[in-house]
Amino acid sequence: MRRAALLAVTALLAGVVLVGCRRPSPPPPQPLPFDHSIHVRVELDQGTLQCTSCHPGAERGAHAGLPALAYCLRCHMRPQGDPPSPREHLVREAGARGGPFRWIQVTREPGHVYFSHAAHVSLAKLTCKDCHGDVTSWQAAPKAPNQRLLSMDRCLACHRARGAPTHCNTCHQ
């Protein structure tokens, strides 16, 4: 009986170790190879597109958010570029069927982390580039979070440099 219990516990621990050591599966592909480098040069009536043009929550919410299909269709009702992007028609097709067009969210923080874009952008006056790097050169949407840019060590270094709070419960629930 005791030996069976020991074997069961050993098997359970081995299973936990094996599951913990496996590589995470890659995220699903984005529906389009979104090119930031092109979009940041787009001229609108009000000037060029800004990060907050497509990510409006960055100034007033916890999450920057992703653009609604209706916003994309403001420009993409007709083919853009010369030659047009080979997959751009997917945006129009999503609009024709009434949407939605689903981008894969890759930068959401874990549930135990509290982060507010609004606090960092509106109150601390950080720019998108301060945390996300130079997105003007990105030729595809990220496939996964950039751990070098979005890491606890980098956040703490910034908090220390700016005299912002560094207590654990500032960011962790």
Q: Which pLDDT belongs to residue 5?
A: 67
pTM (predicted TM-score): 0.70
What mean pLDDT do residues 37-49 have?
A: 77
Report which of residues 65 and 160 the model is more confident about.
160
Q: What is the mean pLDDT of the chain?
A: 82
Q: How is the chain split into domains, by residue range?
A: 26-66+103-171
pLDDT reported for residue 126: 93
Cα dist. 79→20, 55, 88, 136 in Å? 46, 23, 7, 22
* Biggest CA pair distance of the chain: 78
pLDDT digits (tens, 9 = 90+) for 14-40: 665 555 555 666 667 777 778 888 888
- Residue 168's pLDDT is what? 94
